[in-house]
Structure 1
């Protein structure tokens, strides 16, 4: 079964791209150096996510070390609460990292839709997070960018840690036994990382876990200031207050995790014995696997050895919007609940958003272009895909937005906008401004299911 089907409005069959044993589908995420595509193993029928990297960009930006590290890390980790890496392939121009496809959404989405979680539910996710982090540390791997956006849920609600792009293997530790690279997301980063005097990766990861636990139960961050200097001052002093609805035992535990002195901070071994943590705790069961990472160098082999290279086989692209069948539609949703495509989620800052329209595809494209240009965005078109590039430089560089139009039924199109680069909050602000100009063509929006033209 193809991950992209045909049909509707007289459109021809959608173009199919195959790499090795996988058929590629829609883009589900992208950044400066990689795209992540939904794909299907046509031999087994298993759904996967494939991270595709451009070799030339990787080499040009001296990213080989980081990419090898990410792949090595993911191969070393085999745990039920960590995204699984199945295999790595390479063509002459690209690297394909085949990973487990998780379709329950981000844990961040759950906080956004509920405001905050009840203590028992928060504890359940926190226990799974600690199981994953503890296992990573036992394999000599430190994540270094733990935050709700990097915690995914599968369709049964099991937590999966993702995004090892900033992880550090044990061999990167210097002679003083510490890591020295300042990285991570400011609100979640440990004080010792900010101070740039070297830090213990395990203790820094645990601090981030403590911030995550706080966010799960409070619905907001313990350390939040618009000014980075003020934010860092608060973090280094652990200047925060637990909300009154936290139980006494939860407050005590969070205070022990968010201790600005890493030497006094609770360890994971001590945490697992904590009474609040132990309530309803289940140890994970899984098979240990011997993993060889010696073959990773082969994907960067420039010696001309073509024996292990894969070829991207593609048919000519259709000149109509891609028709999205039910299988592909499910892949856009959280779990199997298709209503979440259009349900409102209050206060949620997401990296992608969608709306449906009953207007013709050409009219949708023209309207987006007409609305985006006055907002300071250059528009590049490629069939029924658009790239919107901001002219101004924001907090994390220029905002870049990818737009794609899918046909989900005769005379009904789904339009997806994804942040391809820049800041998520700026993307959210841009979409609000854009959607005002698109109100005439929107039938139903993810932000307002009652909105109709």
Structure 2
């Protein structure tokens, strides 16, 4: 954490990142009020300002319980700060167990909340165009929030609807008509919701894109015996098949989805002889799952310096550790004094506050981290050795963040970052998705953790 004014602290840990920047957490020292700060760097791409302005114009119009709230913005010559509602549980994909999914009642709850937020957007004439688990956040009460309006646009104005022609979105979640152009806005978003529902229920995606063999088999009704379809019951298949109708005009509307028997079924009325998570209230079950995962994966966030530094492969682990211990620098930030003054700008050099388990509690409770029994140097050595065993491309920057690049099972690019952090005499290893599919990232994490099992702390 870094202290910058009498009232506010900024965590140096990155909550998430996108094409134009990264997201960090701001906390009021007195009230513990939390705000997510999206830091945009204008120097990276020429079209940044135009796209960010469009995103802000749309986002500031929105006010709904299932949409991340927009609080304000502040611009500087080469940087911009956008202040948003903070969702402490992080992205929806953190709730999805690879190849397993989540309990049906929880998937149903999140599907209803997703459709609720989407219905609000569509009524305003706004289409999101990038619905996926990475853009769906969960707050501390277990409420789903739609985020990231970088690809959103208006499709209706003064009652007149227009067709869209921009190809955008994330390939596994994109409706097939997007490639044909022009296309209707609402059915395209609804298609993406269907793919999200499959991911929640099965822990996998049905295809990499609409050119794949898996999608062709789906179009030809030659899919029912393979995963993820074979994991789904008849009622679920009935709903998903109608959401994923190839012809947009035959696709269910949001109102029709909500009336489907699967969406109305009360999963919590199921009675079994064994008491397990599937019979808990959805929000309580969410907390139960998080607590269970916490005992295994250590839900403590990372601490890294925020300024990007050139990534290099060190000549040796010893040299890496020496560089990290001798070349750490303080970082300058701009900061708000309180919410009302967030549009004011000032630059201050901050002092670091001690890193403790207590000030970790504010950050996202990710499930992709764990403590180890080895020291800092040995942990880096073992980690890098395992990465080489998997033939992953990896680099370490001057702050000690290991950036790992590979491809997922569908041959799409996948990047994630690992930090080894010393905290109160213990060593935490934290993994965070940087680019690609969240579910595939969790699969890679599980395999890496299994290979590091000899040094993973078991008792805590």
Give your verdict on TM over 0.5.
yes
Alpha-carbon distance between aligned partners in 1 of 2:204 and 2:418, rounded to the nearest angstrom: 30
Give 1:85 deviation, angstroms: 1.7
Partner of 2:371: 356
Aligned residue among 209, 212, 222 for 2:196: 212
CA contact (8 A) 2:125 2:157 kept: no
Question: Any idea what SS the aligned residue of 1:133 has?
Answer: helix
- Tell me the equivalent position of 1:380: 396
Partner of 2:239: 253
Q: Secondary structure at the match of 2:345?
A: coil
CA distance in 2, matches of 1:376, 1:254: 35
RMSD over aligned Cα atoms: 4.0
CA distance in 2, matches of 1:19, 1:200: 50
Distance 2:40 2:106 in 1: 37
Alignment-derived partner of residue 126 in structure 1: 111
Question: Which of the residues 24, 31, 56 maps onto 1:71?
Answer: 56
Matches within 5 A, 1:237-248: 240-241=223-224, 243=230, 246-248=233-235
Cα distance in structure 2, aligned partners of 1:104 and 1:198: 37
**1:87 Cα offset (Å):** 1.7
Deviations 1:386-412 (A, max 9, x none): 243659999555x65433333333x21
Aligned residue-pair number: 379
Identify the residue that residue 403 of structure 1 maps to in structure 2: 418
1:39-438, aligned counterparts within 5 Å? 39-42=26-29, 44-57=31-44, 60-112=45-97, 115-170=100-155, 177-194=162-179, 196-221=180-205, 223-224=206-207, 228-234=211-217, 240-241=223-224, 243=230, 246-248=233-235, 250-274=236-260, 276-278=262-264, 310-315=345-350, 323-329=355-361, 331-333=363-365, 353-368=368-383, 372=387, 375=391, 377=393, 379-383=395-399, 385-388=400-403, 390=405, 395-396=411-412, 400-409=415-424, 411-421=425-435
Q: Which runs of 5+ in 1 are unaligned?
A: 5-14, 281-306, 335-340, 342-352
Separation in 1, partners of 2:429, 2:183:
45
Contact 2:171 2:209 in 1 (8 A): no
Superposed displacement of residue 274, structure 1: 4.6
Check conservation: 1:17, 1:23, Cα contact below 8 A.
yes
Mapped partners of 1:104, 1:86: distance in 2: 20
Contact 1:191 1:236 in 2 (8 A): no
Change over 3 Å in CA distance of 1:235–1:92 after alignment to 2: farther
Pick which of 116-125 and 98-107 moved more. Answer: 116-125
Residue 414 of structure 1: how far off its partner (Å): 1.1
Structure-1-length-normalised TM-score = 0.69
CA deviation map 1:258-314 (0-9, x unaligned): 22111222222444455554567xxxxxxxxxxxxxxxxxxxxxxxxxx95523423
Distance change (3 Å), C-alpha of 1:224 and 1:124: same
Alpha-carbon distance in 2 for matches of 1:361, 1:219: 33
In 2, Cα distance between equivalents of 1:158 and 1:78: 15
| Displacement of 1:426 | 7.3
Once the two structures are superposed, residues 8-62 of structure 1 have per-residue CA deviations (whole angstroms, 9 ceiling, x without a partner) of: xxxxxxx4456995533411222442111122134642122211111211xx342
SS in 1 for 2:14: strand
Cα 1:259–1:239 shift into 2, 3 Å: farther
**Does the 8 A contact of 1:19 with 1:312 survive in 2?**
no
Unaligned runs of 5+ in 2: 267-341
Distance 1:62 1:329, change over 3 A: same
CA distance in 1, matches of 2:398, 2:163: 48
Query: Is residue 58–residue 149 contact of structure 2 (8 Å, CA) maintained in 1?
Result: yes
Change (3 A) 1:257 1:373: closer
1:349-376, Cα deviation, whole Å (9 max, x unpaired): xxxx323134443443455456656746
Deviation at 1:134, TM superposition (A): 0.4
Which string of whole-angstrom CA distances, capped at 9 and with x for unpartnered residues, describes residues 191-249 of structure 1? 2113x22111111111222233344344544x33699432443465676546586354x
Give 1:164 shift.
Answer: 2.2
Does the Cα contact within 8 Å between 1:48 and 1:101 map onto a contact in 2? Answer: yes
Residues 218 and 243, structure 1, Cα contact 8 Å, conserved in 2: no
